[in-house]
A and B are shown apart, each in its own frame.
Chain A
Amino acid sequence: MTDTMRLRPPTATAPPTADPGLIAGRPRSAWLHIVVLILAFGADAGAFYQVIGAVMWDQHAIVLLIVVIGFATTVVYLAHMTGTLLRDRADDPGNRTVRFLWGVVPAWLLLGALGFWVRLDFEPPPSGSGSILDIADETATTPANDANPLLGALLFAALYIGIGLVAALGAYFTHHPLQSRYATAVRARARTARRLARRTAHREFTAAELEAWQAWAARMDLVAEEHRFDRSRFSDELKSLARHRMAEASHDPAVTDALLRPGRDIGTGPARIDPR
């Protein structure tokens, strides 16, 4: 269908976010952003693992894991939303959702400051305390970090800000609300088409089966009529047999002639069955 169509180029009255090229799909840079975002999320989780583990070292490993993932998701999402809101504002100066930045940015900065402070002031749990961080102590924590907490905190801050910038800039340059809505609608149409195909097959199947059974019922109506007709003919046969026997016994041509008339005028047959 698309071969026979062409797109009208954006006109002067088109909204500022119009971008016909996005109808073909997202650019490759968008997928690169997603990959980078996933990697950044992993790095953020690692950074928060050190921070949260220093405070909640006596918690169960699963609890620690859930909290770390929750923190990492929150900060990445806040940074992503910052980029998204700024892009919406840039595309449409009248967009008022940008005011949410007053909540998003401070929250993101607060979480970063909290992590920095914990990295700076909190000592890692004592070795052999049974903490989940015991393994990390042997592998991830460097002697330099142990000797200089400021260095570890600065490393955390650099990572935090870097990941935040990656998420925010990536969202800013790849976010396009109209493309997202169009992609959602196209996916919904494909999903609906698959469901409609199944439903159509189901409807046609039930219609064909119903039709076959109705045809069978109509045929059985005829079969019942045939059985009734057969019995009516059999009664005629019996009457004819009786007349033959009586004619044979009388030995009188006049009687025989009267009893055995030509033609099929014996009996009228049953009335038709009305199945309704």
Chain B
Amino acid sequence: MTWLALQRRRARQRSERLREFTPSPVDAASYRTEIERRAGALTPDAVDEATGHALDRLIDSWADQWDAAVVREYARYRLDQDLELAELRARHAAAEVLHRDLTERATDVDLAVQATRDALSGGPRQDRP
């Protein structure tokens, strides 16, 4: 197995750990039924033009709980993602350092080739006009 193939295999194994964020579902049917039940339980004269928001605070509290659940579950999800990202950043930083080191080495070796070639040829090389 070549080195690049090994890299690809590791990347594939890592990508298998990718999963889309899916929060715990809200049982919409049961909430609708509950609203139907509570709205039906009110007497026809209990609501007038000014009291149409009788169930709003209850629904808002439910919405806040659903929202808090999403935020909480996403924070847990992002922790795993951030750990993967941290590992990838570390690997990339290490690769950058090694690459930079080898680039400098290549520059030195180029200098050595040029110097030894000049010495062997008896003078510096000139570009063809």
Contacts and interface: CB of A to CB of B under 8 A. Distances in A.
B129 to A, nearest CB: 10
A69 B85 CA distance: 58
Contacts of A26: none
A4 B42 contact: no
Contacts of A258: 48-50, 52
Interface residues of A, number: 72
A8 B122 CA distance: 8
A205 B4 contact: yes
5 contacts: A7-B121, A23-B117, A199-B98, A206-B92, A238-B32
Contacts of A192: 102, 105-106, 109
B70 A196 contact: no
Contacts of B7: 202, 205
A188 interface: yes
A201 B98 contact: no
A196 B28 CA distance: 58
Contacts of A206: 88, 91-92, 95
B16 interface: no
A38 interface: no
B66 A8 contact: no
A81 to B, nearest CB: 22
A231 B98 CA distance: 48
Contacts of A11: 122-123
Interface string A93-120: 0000000000000000000000000000
The A contact surface, by secondary structure, is helix
Given A192-B106, A238-B32, A249-B44, A20 B120 contact: yes
Contacts of A207: 92, 95
Nearest to A188: B109
B63 A6 contact: no
Contacts of A6: 125-126, 128
B3 to A, nearest CB: 6
Interface residues of B, number: 75
A258 B49 CA distance: 5
Given A18-B120, A234-B28, A238-B35, A216 B92 contact: no
Contact of A254 (B49, B54, B77, B91): B49
Contacts of B84: 213
Interface in A239-276: 239, 241-243, 245-246, 249-251, 254-255, 257-259, 267, 270, 273, 275
Contacts of A239: 53, 55-56, 59
B35 A245 contact: yes
A228 to B, nearest CB: 5
Given A192-B109, A238-B31, A7 B70 contact: no
Q: Which 4 residue pairs across A and B have the least CB separation, nearest first?
A: A14-B122, A18-B122, A10-B122, A245-B39
Nearest to B2: A198
A4 B38 CA distance: 89
A185 B113 contact: yes
A26 to B, nearest CB: 12
Nearest to B126: A8
Nearest to A179: B120
Most chain A CB inside 10 Å of its own CB: which residue of B52, B85, B123? B52
Contacts of B35: 238, 241-242, 245
B105 to A, nearest CB: 6
Contacts of B113: 182, 185-186, 189
Nearest to A19: B120
